[in-house]
Structure 1
């Protein structure tokens, strides 16, 4: 037997049933097979393993020590296979929800709130598909997509979720020093944003030292982490940073903010029928994002 090979699955299922029931006949009934077929599969399995698994008597079937040790191994393997299959199966579509969103949104906005959603809807199983870069299309298996972009309502006719602002943030550990002279600190931003440091300088009249370089990261997950660890100031948006500010992980050294041109948009996957779980999530999402539009 190869060290990397495993016996055929039908042999393992027959062994698990026979060992659990201690009867080839009962195992055959459970598996909808003939008794002789189960008995033959067990002999094939024993030959494959080079080990005797059963002690066979005229009216009794017992496990050998090898068989007793092998049974929980097989049961755990079959249970893991069953769990993995259920996770991919369409049988629980109404109870599952697949959300597609970028990595920063899943980390900084969705994760702090998802516990509340699942507490209200414990019967819904959530699966999150996260990308580093904005996708060009909704994943086939996604029920809904939350996509980051600029004026997508004009291009795709989708729902804008946030009326967002952007502003600098830093670690609370350096807040006092930043407020004393922020121009001494390094600046960080997420690349490709219209609501960036240059826009904030123009909108607020604040300016750094001449030729002050701005360091860029490809995701807010990195640029905001630089601020949290005290590396300097990072340009942030309210959607991603507010939960971190509330928890005392970030601080706002200035009151000034500017409108953020980009936003997140809710995109419906019209190739999938809308399930009850999807409808509930959309209603919850609307409630959670409403505050963004009512703030002064």
Structure 2
């Protein structure tokens, strides 16, 4: 019959302290419990394991062979637990900065700049999550929100807009000589974007309803399908530039682009934040501004 889980982590901590100090009294002082309480915890652990971990003398305790074998396993496990907790939650002085943004912002724009960010801010511990992720955050001062919207959120700063450009694999792009040629190809449309194929083709006097279309839910999915040869997708510059390049997609026509009606916004940029979060905000603002003006 398999052994059940150890009921209390306190039993493990008591054993670890006693094994390091080789004294119940000193271990109890280190854990801020009474020697009697610590002794009971160790006895409960020994009963649960079915093995004696300490030889108890009148004035000292020593590890048994089983205890000596078990101690390094316990020590390594506790250190791994503490290390993971520090990585996820930090200390009061060095909490991680949580950047919550649309997936394409994180997977493309941020991905292309992340190495520079880390070089400029080696002390900032950044946790990157998509805008769809719902998770508890211990300190809102350490959370940075990037949104994609047509109407600016209250107290938000626009980072950049988007320009819509048809892109495809080179062999498909080579077949497109005029906007009218787009109708003969499969067009990959994103359902929730306000500016898409219908708007772009209407500007050229073309009817999107005459085209073969694949509908999908995201820019990254559309670009991935186009990379596989499924058709022509709409890149959204500058946010998707990195994904477009990494997937080997090229523009189908020069000067065939269109300004989108939605933009990326940094929410509440002037709210008081922790120092690492403020560094991250300032860096994003500066890098986005440099890119918009052609300085990056």
Q: For the superposition of Structure 1 and Structure 2, which TM-score range results when normalised by the shorter chain?
A: 0.7 to 0.9
The alignment's C-alpha RMSD in Å is 3.2
Distance in structure 2 (CA, Å) of the matches to 1:94 and 1:19:
32
Match in the other structure for 1:41 = 41
- Give yes or no for the alignment of 1:280 onto 2:283: no
**Partner SS for 2:211:** coil
Aligned equivalents of 2:191 and 2:24: distance in 1? 66
State the 1:220 CA deviation: 1.4
CA distance in 2, matches of 1:99, 1:188: 29
1:125-144 deviation per Cα after TM superposition (whole angstroms, max 9, x unaligned): 111231349x9xx9984622
- TM-score normalised according to structure 1 size: 0.83
Alignment of 1:1-296 (within 5 A): 3-58=3-58, 61-87=61-87, 89=89, 91-92=91-92, 94-132=94-132, 141=140, 143-152=143-152, 156-172=154-170, 174-178=172-176, 182-203=182-203, 205=204, 207=206, 211-247=210-246, 249-255=248-254, 256-268=256-268, 273-295=272-294
Distance in 2, matches of 1:93 and 1:257, equals 47
Runs of 5+ in structure 2 lacking a partner?
none
2: distance between equivalents of 1:274 and 1:231? 45
Runs of 4+ displaced beyond 6 Å: none
Provide the C-alpha distance between the structure 1 equivalents of 2:69 and 2:176, rounded to a whole number of angstroms: 64
1:209 Cα shift? Answer: 8.3
Whole-Å separation in 1 of the counterparts to 2:208 and 2:272: 55
Could you tell me how far apart the structure 1 residues matched to 2:112 and 2:237 are?
Answer: 14
Q: 1:26 and 1:289, CA in 2 relative to 1: closer, same or farther beyond 3 A?
A: same
Deviation at 1:291, TM superposition (A): 3.7
Q: Distance in 2 between matches of 1:9 and 1:102?
A: 39
CA distance in structure 2 between the aligned counterparts of 1:6 and 1:109, rounded to whole angstroms: 46
The Cα of 1:124 is off from its aligned counterpart by 1.0
Shift of 1:93: 5.7
What's the secondary structure of 1:194's corresponding residue? coil
1:209-268: CA deviation from partner (whole Å, max 9, x where unpaired): 872132221221211111122211101201232113444622112112111111111102
- More divergent stretch after superposition (189-198 vs 87-96): 87-96
Q: Which runs of 5+ in 1 are unaligned?
A: none
In structure 1, C-alpha distance between the alignment counterparts of 2:28 and 2:246, rounded to whole Å: 59
Alignment TM-score, normalising by the size of structure 2: 0.83
Indicate how the Cα distance of structure 1 residues 80 and 160 shifts in structure 2: closer, same or farther if over 3 A, else same: same
